[in-house]
């Protein structure tokens, strides 16, 4: 690993790097669980739509948003972008040396909090989510 907050805070010993890999894997699982719930909700909403129209789909793409989650050595940053890459809303949460279970909880709770408190209630849920993680994956 080349420098940065992570090396300064935690070092780059094989044990630290191994733990970072484990935490990264757990973080990916947390995001996958969350995205699976969103996908299920979106599918159920589409199923209820009795007459899907092509124009309506194009309109959805224009209003679609995407969630980005960046877990670093000192903070977890969540941002929501539109199709053009413009950041619409964001929120920062503190992180630090966390166990795998703590990372999983941090991501799940932070994403839930973000969706509940940091964006307009009437805004549609993001259609996709990406994750950036500290360490090697």
pLDDT at 77: 93
The per-residue DSSP string of 51-119 comes to S--HHHHHHHHHH-EEEEEEE-SSEEEEEEEETT--EEEEEEEE--S--HHHHHHHHHHHHHHHHHHSS
Bridge partner residues of 126 (DSSP): none
The model's confidence at residue 22, banded by pLDDT at 50, 70 and 90, is confident
How far, in Å, CA of 67 to CA of 81, rounded?
7
Summarised one tens digit per residue, pLDDT across range 66-112 is: 899 998 888 999 999 988 888 999 999 998 888 888 888 999 899 99
The pTM score is 0.58
pLDDT at 3: 54
Summarised one tens digit per residue, pLDDT across range 25-46 is: 667 677 777 767 666 666 666 5
Hey, how many other C-beta atoms are within 10 angstroms of the C-beta on 30?
23
The model's confidence at residue 117, banded by pLDDT at 50, 70 and 90, is very high
The model's confidence at residue 135, banded by pLDDT at 50, 70 and 90, is low
Q: Which of 8-22, 44-58, 99-113, 123-137 has the highest mean pLDDT?
A: 99-113
């Amino acid at each position: 690993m080349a420098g940065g907050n992570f090396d300064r805070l935690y070092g780059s010993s094989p044990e630290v790097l191994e733990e970072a890999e484990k935490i990264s894997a757990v973080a990916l699982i947390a995001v996958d669980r969350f995205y699976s719930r969103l996908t299920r909700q979106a599918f159920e909403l589409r199923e209820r739509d009795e007459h899907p129209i092509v124009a309506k789909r194009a309109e959805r793409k224009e209003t679609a948003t995407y969630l980005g989650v960046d877990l670093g050595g000192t903070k977890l940053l969540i941002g929501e972008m539109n199709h053009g890459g413009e950041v619409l809303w964001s929120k920062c949460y503190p992180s630090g040396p966390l166990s795998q279970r703590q990372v999983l909880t941090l991501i799940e709770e932070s994403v839930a909090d973000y969706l509940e408190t940091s964006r307009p209630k009437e805004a549609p849920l993001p259609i996709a989510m990406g994750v950036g993680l500290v360490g090697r994956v």
